[in-house]
Amino acid sequence: MKIDIGVLIAVIGVLVALGSLLIGFFGYQLNKSKTVKNDGQQGAEMKAKLEYISKGVDDIRIDQKASDRQMILIGERITRVEESSKQAHKRLDKVEGLKGGDSE
């Protein structure tokens, strides 16, 4: 049984090509699973960061609402103080009028 050298080289070439194809396929599958794992991990980290930011924004909104309530209360108190001051000035003017003196 005599094998021609050209046929032998062709068979070896086909075997090498098939081996390379199998190695490439398995390498791709291995790399694909690592990529999916990394993508999942990055997605989880991103989700955790977004939740942390969302919680921070919620805390800021709560603080802002509390500040708004305080500003409303302060505004009401200022209005009361202004009214009280106005009444006190009227009483002082009456007292000065009763004494009949100009303080200027």
75: its two tokens = 């505004």
Residue 59: predicted pLDDT: 94
Task: Give the Cα separation of 43 and 56 in Å (integer).
Answer: 20
Q: What are the helix and strand counts (H, E) for the chain?
A: 1, 0
Report the percentage of the chain scoring pLDDT > 70: 94
For the cut 90, the answer to whether the pLDDT of residue 99 exceeds it is no
> CA angle 63-66-70, nearest 5°?
135
Residue 4: pLDDT over 90: no
The three-class DSSP label of residue 102 is coil
pLDDT of residue 48: 92
**Mean pLDDT of all residues in 19-44:** 84
